[in-house]
């Protein structure tokens, strides 16, 4: 592994070599014009190698180093080490983030919007070869605030993801990707909607790390009116962001259609996605849709179209499968999930949210890829909608 902060060698010897070569060229039996051409060729070659050295040593990413970089980024998360208890259990620090929708406006501070960051411990117990999961929450939530908003709304944070040593969250109103520190946030990048040429911010709902890049996706269904008329396909774009913040915008229309077909749904039916994870271990994409319906979208009816399905696809989406997770509760839909570290990407902890008639609640559960329940749904304290979970 190379050191990005190391500096290229600028020793005096390198300059002496160039001077010596220039003197040799002067003594060569050729006309002045030919000698100038030779010296120019040598100079251009030298500049090429200097540029290459600077590229490697100061953050440029060549193809030969992509795999090393991706591995380093994956290994940097979680940021804190797990703790092994006396009875053999393993305890991990976790965090969840809230999306308060219209209630994110701070009640007392002018031009301020708020989200709540809740921390806790996930404990993985080995019990006769079958892992069991439990969660203990810290007493207090951390209040995170920002003055950035669009249309009078902001800090409606969806998803938590660890990337390049940073804990990030997505504001699905402004398109801002925030870095979360201990008790405050800082904007990192801003995502424009759709192909990146729109004035509106991108409504990011899920995020995952693949090959050293951060993938950020939206709802995955066409943007429609409240009664289901298609307005645009902007939520079916995916943003691919590098460690420097450089961003590309890729249409995933075909991939989302493949997921729809795997779920046994045909248009005008739909899936709404708020959680997805790429597994470098399984070499697969995994999705836990929040909503699923075989009928045309209706804003009110959508509240009762929760799912219990896990969709998995090969890297190129050429093959996809569906697994059912526990009993179906139509008012509970998945909002975020992560693979539990140390389980070889076989066990998952997931959040579910409920929004029915203005009543809001969040739940946490755990299961494995076969659908076996490791922890049944547990209500998270408070009446908040938590839409992101990550191992800290």
Residue 147 known to bind ligand:
no
**Distance (Å, whole) CA 33 – CA 85:** 78
SS3 10: coil
Residue 20 known to bind ligand:
no
Residue 158 known to bind ligand:
yes
* Six-digit token string for 14: 């390198």
Residue 13 known to bind ligand:
no
Beta 347-356 vs 333-339: how paired, if at all? antiparallel
CB atoms within 10 A of CB 45: 10
Residue 159 known to bind ligand:
yes
Residue 335 known to bind ligand:
yes
What is the widest separation between alpha-carbon atoms in the chain? 92
Helix (H) or strand (E) segment spanning residue 85: none
**Distance (Å, whole) CA 110 – CA 95:** 28
Rounded to 10 degrees, the C-alpha dihedral 135/138/140/144 comes to: -80
CA distances from 3 to 68, 99, 228, 271 (A): 12, 39, 52, 44
389: β partners = 96
Omega within 30 of 0 (cis) for the link into 232: no
List binding-site positions for Ca(2+): 158-159, 205, 274, 335, 387
List binding-site positions: 158-159, 205, 274, 335, 387
């Amino acid at each position: 592994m190379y050191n990005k902060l190391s500096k290229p060698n600028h020793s005096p010897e390198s300059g002496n070599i160039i001077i010596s070569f220039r003197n040799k060229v002067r003594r060569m039996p050729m006309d002045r014009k030919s000698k100038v051409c030779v010296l120019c060729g040598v100079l251009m070659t030298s500049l090429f190698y200097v540029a290459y050295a600077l590229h490697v040593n100061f953050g440029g990413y060549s193809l030969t180093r992509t795999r090393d970089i991706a591995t380093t980024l994956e290994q940097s998360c979680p940021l804190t080490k797990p703790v092994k208890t006396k009875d053999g259990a393993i305890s991990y620090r976790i965090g969840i983030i809230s999306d308060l929708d219209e209630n994110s406006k701070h009640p007392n501070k002018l031009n301020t919007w708020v989200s709540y960051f809740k921390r806790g411990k996930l404990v993985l117990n080995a019990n006769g070869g079958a892992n069991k999961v439990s969660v203990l929450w810290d007493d207090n939530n951390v209040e995170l605030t920002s003055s950035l908003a669009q249309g009078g709304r902001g800090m409606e944070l969806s998803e938590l993801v660890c990337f390049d040593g940073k804990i990030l969250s997505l504001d699905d109103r402004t398109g801002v990707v925030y870095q979360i520190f201990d008790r405050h946030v800082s904007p990192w990048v801003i995502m424009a909607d759709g192909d990146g040429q729109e004035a509106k911010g991108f409504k990011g709902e899920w995020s995952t790390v693949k090959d050293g890049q951060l993938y950020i996706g939206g709802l995955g269904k066409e943007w429609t009116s409240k009664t289901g008329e298609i307005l645009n396909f902007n939520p079916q774009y995916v943003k691919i962001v590098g460690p420097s913040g450089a961003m590309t915008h890729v249409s995933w229309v075909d991939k989302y259609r493949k997921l729809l077909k795997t779920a046994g749904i045909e248009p005008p039916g739909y899936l709404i996605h708020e959680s997805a994870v790429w597994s470098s271990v399984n070499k697969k994409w995994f999705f836990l849709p929040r909503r699923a319906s075989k009928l045309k979208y209706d804003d009110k009816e959508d509240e009762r179209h929760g799912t219990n399905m896990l969709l998995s696809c090969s890297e190129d989406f050429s093959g996809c499968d569906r697994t059912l997770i526990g009993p179906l509760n139509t008012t509970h839909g998945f909002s975020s999930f992560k693979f539990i570290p140390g389980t070889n990407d076989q066990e998952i902890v997931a959040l579910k949210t409920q929004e029915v008639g203005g009543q809001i609640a969040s739940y946490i559960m755990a299961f494995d890829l076969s659908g076996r329940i490791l922890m049944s749904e547990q209500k998270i304290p408070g009446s908040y909608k938590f839409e992101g979970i990550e191992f800290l």
